[in-house]
Structure 1
Amino acid sequence: MTAGKPAFPTRRAAAERNRDKVLAAARAAFADGDTGISMAEVARRAGVGMATLYRNFPGRRELLEALYADEVEAICKAAVIEDGQTPGAALNAWLRLQVDFISHKRLIVSELLAHTDGDGPASRREQALDAGRPLLAAAQRAREVRDDVTLEQVFDMIVAIAKIPGTRDYLEPIIQIMLDGLPLRTAEHPTRT
């Protein structure tokens, strides 16, 4: 160590790496459907000690909240229109991320609701809705998406689809039917009344 320079940045970097390892291990366990994973098993899979685990996440609820928050943050960052992409295509791609998120994270959400009063997932839903509203508005302004639907309604459809038991191959046509219902209908293909 150089005289006069504290080792804090190195410690902070190591602490951040340990936190990331714990989150990655827990994320992989939940992705495999292992909802019964213990905190000790998370620590073992992450290659960290129990003290390190509990320093970062005092309990299971805090670990679940961190997992959920990281995933929602990634979804929010993805709510953008890329160069060369139409607003409707951007919305469609983002909604597909939502479908993947909900279907793969429902185990985390259901367990998190069991460990909290329910405010966590609800506030994160609002965060995702706030990120996606500009995409929907842009697609509606471009007349690529019907204007009689709200993002809340679309999210509710995604959540309902995610609750249907079955493989991704089984769910894919159902997801596509939902997405096919969003575009504005032309004179040749009017919306049914």
Structure 2
Amino acid sequence: MAALLLSLAEDPHAPTAARDPLRAVDEHVADSLVALEFEQARSASTIADLGSGAGFPGLPLAVALPRASVALVESSARKCAFLRRAAGAVGADNARVVHTRAEGWSQALGRLDLVLARALAPLPVVAEYAAPLLRIGGALLVWRGRIDPEVEAATRRAGAELGLEVLSPRPVWPFPTAAHRHLQLMLKVRSTPDRFPRRPGIARKRPLGGGSGEA
């Protein structure tokens, strides 16, 4: 992981505020690797990190899971360029950068074991992005902060429309000063209706479950 931390510190185009290696190893690397607490992450063969940004959680997990194929999905061309440099720096041959929006990634529909999302969008929106990409039996893992009962209810309603079973969020402590961190697991238990994914932007404008489309 040292090469990745060096990329964050030295690359002027790194899309993160956490450039200091001591801060980044906690806030980015350790926070990413906490996903390995879940069997669905440890056993996945095909993984996608939606809105990968600076490469978290996708790149640390690509290094930790060398037998898995990890797609770093990002709509920003500038961020994609950084991701390619960072993946090369860490020697993550099993990671590839996919320059697209999640809603437009038709090649992956129904193919993925695991979808990851960290600081991407509200939970119902993330669920809509991810559900069409997952195979039945696949899983969505979302990094989140404090628990809000209204968000919980909206997410469960959205999951019911999308073929996802929404499990209880699990508190995690990836580093000593972490607080109010949770990982949310959703399992794809039946086919997602053909009307999903909706056109790009619609999930945020008209979120499922009656929730807000703003993070």
Query: TM over 0.5: same fold?
Result: no
Greater share of strand residues, 1 or 2?
Answer: 2
Query: Normalising to structure 1: TM-score of the pair?
Result: 0.31
Greater Rg, structure 1 or structure 2?
1
